Amino acid sequence: MKRSLSSVLVYFYPLAGRLKKGESGRMEVDCNDEGAEFREASINIPFKDIEKDGFCRKSFFPKLVHDINLSVNENYSRPLLLIQVTAFEGGGICIGTTFHHVIKDENSYWHFMTSWAECSRGLPLAKPPQHARAVFKRDKKNPMSISYKALEIISQGITGAKIFKFVSDSSSSYHMKTCGSANVEKPNELLQKWVDPKMKTEVIYSTFCFTDDMIQELKQRSGASSSFVAVAAQFSRCVMRAREVSLEEAVYFVLLGDCRGRVKPPLPPTYFGNCLSLGLAQTTAKALINSDISFAADIIQQLIHSCTSEAQINYLIDWAESPGGNCLSLVKEAGWEYGTNAVSSPRFPLYEIDFGWGKPADVQVATMNEIGIMLLSCAKDGGKSILVSTCLPQHQMEVLHHLLTVSVE
């Protein structure tokens, strides 16, 4: 695995670099070939016991990956890629990966993992990565002044929601303030911010399976055009109910959409880096919970169209070049406390990664840093089911299990 990691890093060379402050004052990746970190570990727990339990989450799971604070500041000098291979008693290993998000999105993550597995099997890379970033460069010296504003949704007779959009704001200078630092807090510390201290409970991780039959029923009830919209609409409504959010409270739905094929000129699927468009919609808990599922589906559908349009992507590029242009400041600016953040996708090849001794028995995210997050993935059997993982305080998770069981039958 070490040899194949060295081989694949020749192609994915930014992962062997380090963050540094560039001449412009912004952080950039110095491709200095300092390398990735590879750690070997062992645990005195039989792999067969974990397998018999269906890989149900255990307290030690976070220890299967590097526990570091991946900040984006001039003091961060650690590797951008950290690998930990943990051997279980009696055979079986876990490959734990920690990436700095500044270097890649999830599309690039699975591209790298697939390529690493090919090198491990002695095969040439089927899809070498592309690193050209010229498409994001602007000819003008000063980026356009961009605002991030909430626009009312009025569609199919449905009102009571807003979609945040990037819009040109030539009448005034750029005004989005930088909110705090861009440091990323440790997951457990961040999670506890959203847990009521009076509950005195731990955060529980769970995964829910939406079978093909459930998805088809949800699509029919919601009028959704895709499985993602149907599942996201149902899940976000149930999460807010489980959290017992005050009906007058503002609630949000956030998504990150891959826009490799939507920039001009389009980027190839093998582009390595971050190429994501941000979408944020707002309504009230009352409107989301008390309305039919079609209300949530309509919001999510319009949000997808909005954040992946050519105009929005162009504005996003200009905004990213402006002072304070980072996603963390946007979320804080909006004051988001109750929301569902949809990440990942069931189209990623989680269970196709083969290092030469077979496909993985299980794939999980070791840590989540948001209460009520919605992490989508494919089913192990390769069927049309969609798995959704999240984390909530124990009582809320119990309620969510009940709501999802009842609502899809």
Distance CA 256, CA 275 (A): 9
Q: Are 133 and 108 in contact (CB under 8 A)?
A: no
Average pLDDT over every residue of 226-234: 96
The sign one gets for the Cα dihedral 175, 258, 156, 223 is negative
pLDDT (average), residues 292-305:
94
The residue among 124, 120, 311, 293 whose CA lies nearest residue 221 is 293
Which of the residue ranges 33-42, 102-111, 183-192, 214-223 would you say has the lowest mean pLDDT?
183-192
Q: Determine the straight-line distance between the first and last CA of the chain, rounded to whole angstroms.
A: 45
Percent of the chain predicted with pLDDT > 90: 57
For residues 335 and 288, the model is more confident at 288
Tell me the mean pLDDT in the region 194-211: 73
C-alpha span between 217 and 230 (Å, rounded): 9
Q: In this structure, what token pair is assigned to residue 261?
A: 């094929």
Q: In this structure, are residues 57 and 103 in contact, taking their beta carbons and an 8 Å threshold?
A: no
* Spatial separation of the C-alpha atoms in residues 250 and 242, rounded to whole Å: 16
Ranges 73-82, 191-200, 205-214, most confident? 205-214
Predicted pLDDT of residue 380 = 86
**Tokens 């009230």 belong to residue:** 284
For residues 146 and 29, which has the higher predicted lDDT (pLDDT)?
Answer: 29
Confidence at residue 139, expressed as pLDDT on a 0 to 100 scale: 66
Model confidence pTM above 0.85:
yes
334, 245 in Cβ contact below 8 A? no
**CA distance readout (Å), 64 to 43, 131, 209, 328, 396:** 9, 30, 24, 27, 27
- Residue among 117, 131, 126 nearest 7 (CA): 117
Q: What is the pLDDT of residue 128?
A: 97
As a whole number, the mean pLDDT across the chain is 85
Two tokens, residue 250 = 């503002």
pLDDT at residue number 178: 33
- How many CB atoms sit inside 10 A of residue 258's CB? 19
Q: Give tens-digit pLDDT for 21-48.
A: 888 777 889 999 999 999 999 999 999 9
- Which pLDDT score is estimated for 234? 96
Give the pLDDT score at 70.
Answer: 62
pLDDT at 311 over 90: no
Say if residues 131 and 15 touch (Cβ distance below 8 Å): no
Higher pLDDT, 139 or 152: 152
Residues 343-358, mean pLDDT to the nearest whole number:
93
335 has pLDDT over 60 = no
Please report which confidence band the pLDDT of residue 409 belongs to, taking 50, 70 and 90 as the band edges. very low
- Residues 231-253 pLDDT 10s: 999 999 999 999 999 999 999 99
pLDDT at 336: 63
List, in order, residues 6 or more apart from 279 with CB less than 8 Å away. Answer: 163, 164, 254, 255, 256, 257, 303, 304, 306, 307, 308
High-pLDDT (> 70) share of the chain, %:
84
Euclidean distance between CA atoms 304 and 229, whole angstroms: 9
Helix, strand, or coil (residue 155): strand
pLDDT of 334 > 60? The answer is no
Kindly tell me the burial class for residue 401, based on how many C-beta atoms sit within 10 Å of its own C-beta (0-12, 13-18, 19 or more): middle
Interval 203-221 mean pLDDT? 93
9 neighbors 36 (Cβ within 8 angstroms): yes
Average pLDDT over residues 183-198: 50
Question: Strand order of the sheet with strand 37-46?
Answer: 37-46, 81-89, 93-99
pLDDT higher than threshold 90 for residue 398:
yes
- 321 has a pLDDT exceeding 50: yes
Q: Kindly give, in sequence order, each residue whose CB lies less than 8 Å from that of residue 183, ignoring residues fewer than 6 positions away.
A: 69, 71, 72, 73
Examine the pLDDT at 407 and tell me if it is beyond 60: no
In this structure, the strands spanning 339-344 and 250-258 are parallel
Closest CA to 27 of 65, 67, 70: 70
DSSP string, 296-346: HHHHHHHHHHHHTSHHHHHHHHHHHTSTT--HHHHHHHHT--SEEEEEE-T
Buried b (16+ CB within 10 A) or exposed e, 111-147: bbbbbbbbbbeeeebeeebeeeeeeeeeeeeebbbbb
210: region left, alpha or beta (phi > 0 left; psi from -120 to 50 alpha): beta
List, for residues 357-386, the tens digit of each pLDDT value: 999 999 999 888 788 899 999 988 888 899
